[in-house]
A and B are shown apart, each in its own frame.
Chain A
Amino acid sequence: MTRLTLRQFRTEAVVGLVLLGALAILLAVSGVNLMNVNDAFRSACKAARDCATASNPVVNVDKPLQSALPFLATIAPALVGLFLGAPLIARELETGTFRLAWAQSVTRRRWLAVKLGVVGTAAMAFSELFTWMVDWWAGPIDAANKNRFGLANFGFHGVAPIGYAAFAFALGATAGVLFRRTVPAMGVTLVGFAAARLAVTYWARPHFASPARESLPLTTGSGPGFGFGGANGASVVLNPPHVDVPNGWVYSTAVLDKAGHAPTSPYMLHACPVLDQVSEQLAASGGLPTSGGGPAQFHGCINKLSATFHTVVTYQPAGRFWPFQWAEMGIFLAAALALCGFSYWWLRRRYA
């Protein structure tokens, strides 16, 4: 049964390996380039002692590849589901060959287990190989951006893609069992996979662990983005600074007092009378920076506010990257197993 499954899946395997090989060559060439640029930058910034502040030119190398790969890596598991999962059972059902297969001395349970096991394992291996190549290639860029935990990057690093591939594959196979036609099964797989990824990314992943909170003192040098902003003429808001947590995942930053309240507009106008004079300007420009070119009067104003208010950062620390990766993989693997179980139950119910 295993050998038949391998034979049936030969064309897809060859296509997959050719694509993977082509990508490997592309990434190897580009990756060596990235490493060279990164090394040159490292030695230059070390000599100039500005490694912490200087911007790494590696983030601008091979820009088309840098924009294309996250997209490619995101849809790769969906393709696995579409081209390996959906036809796996559906094609047998729509061409009637399942009646040939089930007439051999192989029980249905074993037939399904071997098909799902062999092709599913291949799908996961394919996906992990792909991810490993992207991980290696993106190493210098991740080191420069320090943002692989972020929403946009988490999904094509580490081990989570194994779970995605397993899930997309099992979803495709299950849709095939239900719809008994390859093309509708493909459509359902695509929609279902996208929905599951979005749901986990936005609803489940933020709750894997309760985020850490940190209070930072409010100063004029708190960070980019910090400043007063205007809205509807008279009212004034305080825009929180953008806080970098290297390799961490920042949920939000806010300026709050001990009780968790943001400063109100009247409070700020009272504390900083100068704001009244510039409020029209605020409304027109949408905001005034407190640092750099900002009016000097703001300094005293910020000092007054900082007695009561702090910048509060809610975030997942960098050290949780791997626990989150395993949790994400676990969720999708568990869902994949549940789908496989459902497929078996449905096949038995319908055909036996």
Chain B
Amino acid sequence: MITVLEANGLSKRYGHKWALSECTLAIPAGKVVGVVGPNGAGKTTLLHLAVGLLQPSAGSISVLGGRPGTTAGQLARVGFVAQDTPTYAGLSIAEHLRFGAWTNPSWDQKLAEDRIEGLGLDPGQKAGKLSGGQRAQLALTLAVAKRPELLVLDEPVASLDPLARREFLQGLMEVVVDHGASVVLSSHLVADLERVCDYLVVLVGSRLQVAGDIDELLSSHHRLTGPRRDRGSLPRDHQVIGESHTDRQSTLVVRAHDPVLDPLWSVEKLDLEDLVLAYMSRAVKVDRRPKLEVRS
């Protein structure tokens, strides 16, 4: 399997606080990966480690088979849009494109110009005068036109209004379709990711909760409702993610690769949001979490 990102026990510490602990992960190529989790979960840390803005405190990470951010060649293969999509306020759009051309060997000027034109932006306009959505599009254009093999976006739509959000994600999908880059983007909103991602990474409290193909995750997670019973009575291959009990009834969220056949349970599918929420609330409840197997 070709991986775009491989992490092994990847950890990052600031002072005494672990921003990311023991993250082991292998993301296959050609995916649009959503990294989701609440604020402060370690999403930005993971992405910064992936583009070489940070170095791990422990463990290792390799992106497209190389150490992130170390050489110009490695930098050329990874496009990055940072949180709040920074641009040079005093430079015009055209100057940003020239900047991209000067600093990237595989720069595609036509692609960049077409995108700016398609967005209806005036190349002479200063980036400082753009709206948040336009600035995000400019940042995306810069990242895309360097023709990276992997595109990393850190909360690119967090500060955008719903319309700009939609346009941005649409633009992103067009790029993926047209140029076939792998994408890793983070968000604290599942709804953003649901439309564009086919692979999910859930981070909570600096730890990796689950990672895998969204289709596989959805088909292997079930909500079971039935008369009250203990989790110990479940088959071994059922991994309980969440449970709630009333006097007479139990509701469990389990991960099971085989269909649940027990007739006492009424089995429901989860949607992506429920699935993510189940992992989030579990992480909050449990102090010492069992390490999860990572499927890829």
Contacts and interface: CB of A to CB of B under 8 A. Distances in A.
Given A97-B88, A352-B54, A107 B75 contact: yes
Contacts of A95: 86, 89
A99 B95 contact: no
A103 B82 contact: yes
Contacts of A107: 69-72, 75
Interface string A1-35: 10110011001000000000000000000000000
A346 interface: no
Nearest to A4: B99
Interface stretch (B100-108, B196-204, B205-213, B228-236): B100-108
B52 to A, nearest CB: 7
A202 interface: no
B69 A352 contact: yes
B76 A105 contact: yes
A267 interface: no
B72 A99 contact: no
Contact of A106 (B54, B72, B84, B89): B72
Given A1-B102, A352-B53, A352-B69, A100 B75 contact: no
A100 B102 contact: no
A203 interface: no
B79 interface: yes
Contact of A103 (B51, B54, B71, B102): B51
B158 interface: no
Contacts of A102: 52-53, 69, 75
Q: Most chain-B CB neighbours within 10 Å: which of A99, A103, A106, A110?
A: A103
Interface in B71-118: 71-73, 75-76, 78-84, 86-91, 95, 98-100, 102-105
B142 interface: yes
Q: Most chain-A CB neighbours within 10 Å: which of B69, B102, B103, B143?
A: B103
A293 interface: no
A7 B86 contact: no
A97 B103 contact: no
B142 A100 contact: yes
B63 to A, nearest CB: 13
B55 A103 contact: no
A111 B133 CA distance: 28
Interface string A104-131: 1111101000000000000000000000
Nearest to B76: A105
Size band of the B side of the interface? Answer: 35 or more
Nearest to B81: A103
Q: DSSP class of A's interface residues: helix, strand, loop or mixed?
A: helix
A96 interface: yes
Contact of B100 (A11, A96, A104, A110): A104
Contacts of B143: 103
Interface string B34-76: 0000000000000000011111000000000000011111011
B26 interface: no
B86 A105 contact: no
B175 interface: no
Contacts of A101: 103
Q: Most chain-B CB neighbours within 10 Å: which of A1, A99, A102?
A: A99
A103 B89 CA distance: 17
Contact of A104 (B52, B82, B83, B146): B146
A106 B87 contact: no
Interface residues of A, number: 22
A351 B91 CA distance: 25
B157 interface: no
A345 to B, nearest CB: 14
Interface string B182-202: 000000000000000000000
Nearest to A348: B55
A331 B73 CA distance: 38
A94 to B, nearest CB: 10
B4 interface: no
Contact of A7 (B70, B72, B95): B95
B103 A96 contact: no
A11 B143 CA distance: 27
B146 A100 contact: no
Interface string B207-246: 0000000000000000000000000000000000000000
A103 B86 CA distance: 11
Contact of B75 (A1, A4, A11, A103): A103
Given A4-B99, A105-B103, A99 B80 contact: yes
A4 B104 CA distance: 12
B75 A105 contact: yes
B32 interface: no
Contacts of A97: 86-88
A4 B52 contact: no
Nearest to B106: A105
A350 to B, nearest CB: 10
A36 B113 CA distance: 61
B139 interface: yes
Contacts of B105: 105
Contacts of B98: 3
Contacts of A7: 91, 95, 99
B222 to A, nearest CB: 41
6 contacts: A4-B103, A8-B91, A96-B86, A97-B86, A103-B143, A108-B69
Q: What are the 5 A-B residue pairs with the smallest beta carbon separation, nearest first?
A: A99-B82, A103-B80, A105-B76, A96-B86, A104-B103
Given A104-B146, A105-B73, 4 more contacts: A4-B99, A4-B103, A105-B103, A106-B103
Interface of B: 51-55, 69-73, 75-76, 78-84, 86-91, 95, 98-100, 102-105, 139, 142-143, 146
